[in-house]
Structure 1
Amino acid sequence: MSYIFGIVSAALILVVVIELLRRRHLRERHAIWWIIAGVLALVAGIFPVTLGWAAGLLGIEVPTNLVFFVSISILFLVGLQHSSELTQLESKTRTLAERVAILELRLRDAEQASSDKN
């Protein structure tokens, strides 16, 4: 029963991510980690032996620990990607705010020069 739950959950993750992509509520660069996680979960759900094989290959005694490690790693990468993009957006926002301030100053100076002529 737990295998069926795992397969259904992984398939549901993939369907939701693809639907969000289709509706343009999620960008491709953000969806890649969720698609990777969904595919890995689907493969592990359909072929549970691969989880034990991969854990053995990496020297991990309990396959569930591999699941937790991969899950935490994917969440770490998602957080890192979002932090990087947030830093870039903050820099762009600061630059735009400075440009707007300069334009407002120029506009105010131009309006003042215009009113002084009249």
Structure 2
Amino acid sequence: MSRGYAFALLGGLVTLVFMVELLRRRRLREKYAALWIAVAVVVALGACFPQLTNWLAELVGVTTPVNLVFFLGLLVLLVVCVQLSAEVSGLEHENQTLAEESALLRNRLERVERQVGEQTPEPPVADPGPAGGTTG
């Protein structure tokens, strides 16, 4: 095994261990880790069986297997970008909905506070009696 394949195998294994650790610490959700774990496994398999990459390149019609690897890497990054864009769009919509609901609730609370303030009778003021004198 050449140093390039050993480096690819090491990179795949480090990525796999890193993803599992992030999952274990609940720093990454499963739906995001699945893609990266799949990439790590494919990289490790390609490093262990380089003839698989050559065979796949011939099957697809790519002259150099490295070009196929770069193209597949580009596709993976494109999928990740689209997935993250979809997530951000959903979060923006949810954030806008929550802001609108918060504004409506704040408005309702202010109206209720005004109604309660209007209904509260004024406390009685003690009458000092005629000409400020004491009664009794």
How far apart, CA to CA, are the structure 1 residues paired with 2:5 and 2:94?
Answer: 46
- Unpaired runs of 5+ residues, structure 2, are 121-136
1:1-118 matched pairs, under 5 angstroms: 1-118=3-120
CA RMSD of aligned residues (A): 0.7
Q: TM-score, normalised by structure 1?
A: 0.97
**CA shift digits 1:63-116 (9 cap, x unpaired):** 001110111111110110010011111111111111110000000000011111
Work out the CA distance in 2 between the residues paired with 1:8 and 1:74: 19
**1 CA distance for matches of 2:43 and 2:35?**
12
Q: How many residues align?
A: 118
Residue 2 (structure 1) shift: 1.6
Can you give the 5+ residue segments of structure 1 that lack an aligned partner in the other structure? none
Please, what TM-score do these two structures have when normalized by structure 2? 0.84
Percentage of pairs with the same residue: 38
Which structure: larger Rg? 2
SS in 2 for 1:76: helix
